[in-house]
Amino acid sequence: MRMFKKVMTLAVSAAFMCGLASCSKNPVADPSASSASAQTEKSLVVTEKETTETSETEKDSKFGKALVVYFSCTGNTKDVALKIANEVGCGTYEIVPSKAYTTDDLNYNNKKSRATREQNDKNARPEIEGTVDLSSYDTIFLGYPIWFAKAPRILCTFVEGQNFEGKKIIPFCTSGSSIIGSSATELAELAQNKGRWISGTRFGANVKSTDVAQWIAVVEGEI
């Protein structure tokens, strides 16, 4: 019976998706995750996964309904975010800047580059494209690269715009070598310490799925 329900869910989802595809060339936005158009297409896939495969994982896991929210300019954090989502069986939401960062913007050797200037200005709040409604989620994995030992200022924009009350927030970062340090506690403060902020971790580039899975098991044991 359970299997029949699952097959039916998949069939209905597939029919729904085909119907949408034939109606419009534009991807349909995940109602809880609206962002730039490229992101919207990704969110569509995520939504389908959430409504089919995720439900049983959610029931069994201590994370409840989870979402991996991440910011990534050169792909390292995105890679980890996707691995977390795959392991937990949940969706992702990418924080997309209204103005994309160019290679020059990211030049940390240039004191005048956009990233350097933003990180040196504690009041800098780069604008985010679109919004996400987190109200239905129990757990938010929050991922970002380390920029000059801190979270990029766009994470400040993000956390200040959310209410994490009643949620667990699990930060993770990627970096060349720096630890997560105080970057996550600084974000928690900007979020008025609402929600339960779990101590986060740092990954390098090209992390193995097994390492991510191992970390998730440890975190799940702690919460």
Interacting residue ranges for ligand FMN, rule: CB under 6 A? 72-78, 106, 108, 115, 145-149, 174-178, 205
**E-strand spans in the chain?**
33-34, 66-70, 91-94, 131-132, 139-145, 168-174, 196-197, 201-203
The CB-side HSE value for 92 (13 A sphere, CA atoms) comes to 22
DSSP 143-162: EEE-BTTB--HHHHHHHHT-
Q: How far is the CB of 38 from ligand FMN (least distance, A)?
A: 16
**How many other CB atoms are found less than 10 A from the CB of residue 83?**
21
Q: How far is the CB of 74 from ligand FMN (least distance, A)?
A: 3
**How many other CB atoms are found less than 10 A from the CB of residue 28?**
16
Q: How far apart are CA 164 and CA 196, in angstroms?
A: 8
Cβ proximity to ligand FMN, 76 vs 162, nearer residue: 76
Q: How far is the CB of 71 from ligand FMN (least distance, A)?
A: 7
Cβ proximity to ligand FMN, 65 vs 101, nearer residue: 101
For residues 222 and 196, the answer to whether their CB atoms sit within 8 Å is no
Cβ proximity to ligand FMN, 54 vs 84, nearer residue: 84
Cβ proximity to ligand FMN, 166 vs 176, nearer residue: 176
Q: How far is the CB of 27 from ligand FMN (least distance, A)?
A: 23
Cβ proximity to ligand FMN, 28 vs 106, nearer residue: 106
Q: How far is the CB of 114 from ligand FMN (least distance, A)?
A: 9
**How many other CB atoms are found less than 10 A from the CB of residue 39?**
22
Q: How far apart are CA 125 and CA 186, in angstroms?
A: 14
Cβ proximity to ligand FMN, 18 vs 205, nearer residue: 205
Q: How far is the CB of 177 from ligand FMN (least distance, A)?
A: 4
For residues 66 and 140, the answer to whether their CB atoms sit within 8 Å is yes
